[in-house]
Every structure is written in C-alpha cells, then in structure tokens.
Amino acid sequence: MSANTNSAILHRSLEKEYPAASGGDGVYIRTADGRRIFDGSSGAAVSCLGHGNKEVIEAICSQARALAFAHSSFFTSDPAEELARFVMKRSNGAFSKVVWLGSGSEAVESALKIARQYHVFRGEPERVNFVGRLHSYHGNTLGALAAGNNPGRRKIYEPILSPAFHHVGRCFYDADGKGLSEEEYEDQRISEYEAEFLRLGPRTVAAVILEPVVGATLGSVLATKNYLSRLSELCRRHGILTIFDEVMCGMGRVGTYHAWQSLGNVPPDLQTVGKGLGAGYQPLSAVLVGKTVCDTFLGHSKGAQAFLSGHTFQGHSIACASALAVQKIIARDGLVANCQKMGEVLHTFLTTSLPSKFFENGGSLRGLGLFRTVDFGTLGDVCGGPLGKEVSQKAFDLGAAVYLCSPTVDAILICPPYIMTKVETKELAGTFVEAFKQVLASRS
Ligand code: PLP
C-alpha cells in the first residue's frame, strides 16, 4: 500500500509521506510533528522573504478588512495600480503596462496570447508559430507545457499539445560548448534560431519564449554573454516578439531585479514573473508588457476590450496588497544586493567544502545570486547511479529542503530566501554538504 493513501489529497507522489507544514519563521518551516526545516530552495524559488513576515501579514489583513475582491471586469484597485507602478519604476522604463494573473503558467499563457493578438492587430494573422527551447519549463497548463520542453512533464500530454510550438536547442555552454569559444557557440545557437525561422517561414512566427536563466529543468543555467541581445536583434529583424519567462529566475533572485539585466541588459517585448513577486504570501504572477506591444494595443482597441483574455481572480486585491508589501520590503532592505552577496558566500562555502571526489568526477557549481546549482556531473556513473534524489531526501532528513532538478541533469537547485544572513547561508550549505557526504559514504 502506498505511504499516503490515508491523505484526502491526490499528492504529487503516492509513495512518500508528506509532513504537514504548520508554521514558519524566517528561513525555517515548522512541521506538525515538531521538526524545523530550513527552506533551502524557498519552496521552488518562491518564499524570498522567508516566513512569518509581520509587515506582509499586516498588509494582507488590512486589505482583507477593506475589501478582499472586486472583479476586474468592473473595477481596478489601489494596491493593483500601485504595485503595477512600483514594478514598472523598478524596471527603469522597460515596460509600459502590467497584466496581473495568479500563477506562472497563467502568465505564460497570457504572454503567448498577447503576442498572438499583437500580430493580429498589426494585420499579420498568419503569425501562428512560437519557438521555445529544449529542456525548458514554462508551466503545466497545456499552452505553457507546449511552449516548454521538459520531457518528463510533457510525455503523457504530447498528443494533445498544440503543433504551433517548436523548439531549438538550449544555451548551455559549459555542457555543450566543448572545443568552441563562447562566441562560436553563440553563433551556432543564433544560426539555429534563424534556420528554424526560415523553415517555418519568418512571417509565420509570432514569438520566441525562453528562460534567461533556466530553472527547474537544468538548474540555473545562464544564457551566454551576448546570446539574449543577439537573439533580440534577430527577432526584431523578422518582426518576431521576444518573451522572457522570469517566473523562476526573476524579481531579484540572481542579484538584479530582472535576470536579463545581468545578461546583456536588453529587455524583452513581454516578460512573465511570478514566484518571488508575491513571495508565496499570496499567489500572484504577471505579464510585463513593453512599449511596442502596448502602443499597438492602445492604438487598436478603440475603446473596446483591449486584451481578449481574462481570469476571474486576476488583480486580486489581497494578492496585490500583499505583493506590494513584499516588493517594498525588498527595495527598502536592499535584498536584491543581498542575493548577490549571499550567493557568493554560498558558492565559496560549497567550493571549499564539497569533497574532492565531487570535482574529480565532473561535479560543478553554477548560477548567480541566490540561484545556485550543484550538478553531480558523472559522479553517479562511478558510485551507483544518480545522486540528486537521494541527496535531496537526505538533506530533508537532516533538516534542509532543497529542490531536485528534472532528471535531464543529476543536480540540485539551491535558492534560499533573499533574507539569508551569512550564518544561515553557511548552515544551509553545511547541511547540504553533510547530506552529500553521508550518501557518498553509504555507497562506498
Ligand atoms: N515558468 C517558469 C520558468 C517556471 O519555473 C514555472 C514554475 O516552476 C512556471 C513558469 C509555472 O509557474 P506555476 O507553477 O506558478 O504555474
């Protein structure tokens, strides 16, 4: 019989027992059975302010007392408007409007639909194709699943995914660029896009979608130096929009407010954000809309409905008030800079503490800010199979939750809250290294 048959929930896994999370304080989550677990990956890059933040809780209560919800067909709200202005100001003019949604997948769906509608408005309805990348993840709804290419998550649904989505190779220089300079590798990647556009017919392509720093599928893999700017230029030449999906890597996690600001500083036409936006206090995501797209919408709506899509809970007042408090705290307390600082502490600690066997067998560390990955490389080949799943379980048993990447790589993503102190960073890294050593020892 499976471990959690008695639960009323159809859990992600029917094999494992899920402890009930019952409380939280700072970087820790408490369980109903009395344990304290370090939230070492902020869930999955969500809880960037940690848990129990009193200012955010007060903002939620205060908005709930005033008004919880008013449907966006009839109303806007002060927190929704103020948050939109706040995020756009922090983006230094890169975006002109915001669309609020609930989950990252909803934001991706909306970005795809905005791109489609933009071309229809401009008199190019033949633009029906989208180009994503292999080993990317954009969410679990059918459009987002089709846009991404996480093999495990797509497999069962493949026959019902739209054929309008196509995929070029990933940009993973350290793994795939052997014998090539970074520039030569970039040439190949950009040529591949160009070939795909030509194959489809460039005037049939609506947009490209990509994660500037790949998250769940590969574990904090950064686009190379000029990749995003070269791709943006290529797209501009063909009238194709760029959609950067920063649901996981964005909102400060890599040490800049948007990840693309660390990777050539060229903004996309459309950007999705989620997770860190509301820090998990309330579910909230968004599409940030650049000027080109925005002007087209404003020019064509003629007083009618501008964006032909919508979700019941979009712009939810409590979610926006909560995220506004989160975003103000991040700005006031310099937490984006703290991601940069603590990311370096984490990297240095891991570099000096992981056993030599790790590095000798192709193990590597990568990432930026507090978006870091420990990749076991080929170590699993010489010690009884992939390590990630077992190390992540062992770390949990020792008191730290860390996120296992998809089986495309044998790797663990460490992306703790932005509020980390030096002491907490070393504690988390120490628990991780101890878990890894215990798993290694058990296999020798
Ligand atoms: N896009 C990226 C890059 C993600 O990492 C995720 C979730 O992990 C999503 C979209 C989907 O977000 P959600 O799970 O909130 O629907």
* Placement of tokens 């062992």 in the chain: 394
Distance CA 207, CA 241 (A): 4
Bridge partners of residue 412, in order along the sequence: 374, 404
Could you tell me which residue, 301 or 304, shows the higher pLDDT?
Answer: 301
108 lines ligand 1 (CB under 6 A): yes
Shortest CA distance to 175 belongs to which of 135, 234, 229? 135
pLDDT confidence bin for 40, thresholds 50/70/90:
very high
For 221, list phi and psi in degrees, rounded to 5.
-95, 120
Section 90-116 average pLDDT: 97
What is the value of pTM for the model shown?
0.97
Q: Report the pLDDT value the prediction gives residue 44, as an integer from 0 to 100.
A: 97
For 171, list phi and psi in degrees, rounded to 5.
-110, 95
Distance CA 293, CA 118 (A): 6
CB 149 within 8 A of CB 275: no
0.95 surpassed by complex ipTM: yes
Distance CA 306, CA 236 (A): 24
The tens digit of pLDDT for each residue in 318-332 reads: 999 999 999 999 999
**CA 251–ligand 1 middle distance (angstroms):** 14
**CA 299–ligand 1 middle distance (angstroms):** 31
Q: Give the count of alpha carbons within 13 A of 357, CB side only.
A: 13
Angle 299-243-304 from CA coordinates, rounded to 5° = 25
Distance CA 420, CA 130 (A): 39
Q: Report the pLDDT value the prediction gives residue 14, as an integer from 0 to 100.
A: 83
User: What atom of ligand 1 comes closest to residue 283's alpha carbon?
Assistant: 15
Q: Report the pLDDT value the prediction gives residue 13, as an integer from 0 to 100.
A: 85
Query: What percent of the chain lies above the pLDDT cut of 70?
Result: 98
Q: Report the pLDDT value the prediction gives residue 16, as an integer from 0 to 100.
A: 83
Q: Which of 41, 103, 275 to mutate to test the pocket of ligand 1 (most atoms within 8 A of CB)?
A: 275
User: What atom of ligand 1 comes closest to residue 211's alpha carbon?
Assistant: 3
Distance CA 343, CA 365 (A): 12
Length reported for the chain: 444
User: What atom of ligand 1 comes closest to residue 285's alpha carbon?
Assistant: 15
Distance from the Cα of residue 386 to its chain's centroid? 24
* Placement of tokens 């693309």 in the chain: 260
The tens digit of pLDDT for each residue in 211-270 reads: 999 999 999 999 999 999 999 999 999 999 999 999 999 999 999 999 999 999 999 999
Distance CA 207, CA 289 (A): 14
274 lines ligand 1 (CB under 6 A): yes
pLDDT confidence bin for 304, thresholds 50/70/90:
low
CB 215 within 8 A of CB 248: yes
The tens digit of pLDDT for each residue in 172-207 reads: 999 999 999 999 999 999 999 999 999 999 999 999
The tens digit of pLDDT for each residue in 346-369 reads: 999 999 999 999 999 999 999 999
Q: Which of 103, 110, 135, 137 to mutate to test the pocket of ligand 1 (most atoms within 8 A of CB)?
A: 137
List the structure tokens of 346: 């984490």
Is a pLDDT exceeding 80 seen at residue 5? no
46 lines ligand 1 (CB under 6 A): no
List the structure tokens of 128: 């029906």
User: What atom of ligand 1 comes closest to residue 105's alpha carbon?
Assistant: 16
Q: Which of 41, 42, 105, 140 to mutate to test the pocket of ligand 1 (most atoms within 8 A of CB)?
A: 105
**CA 393–ligand 1 middle distance (angstroms):** 23
**CA 45–ligand 1 middle distance (angstroms):** 10
* Placement of tokens 């992981």 in the chain: 354
Reduced to 3 states, what is the DSSP secondary structure of residue 97? strand
User: What atom of ligand 1 comes closest to residue 216's alpha carbon?
Assistant: 5
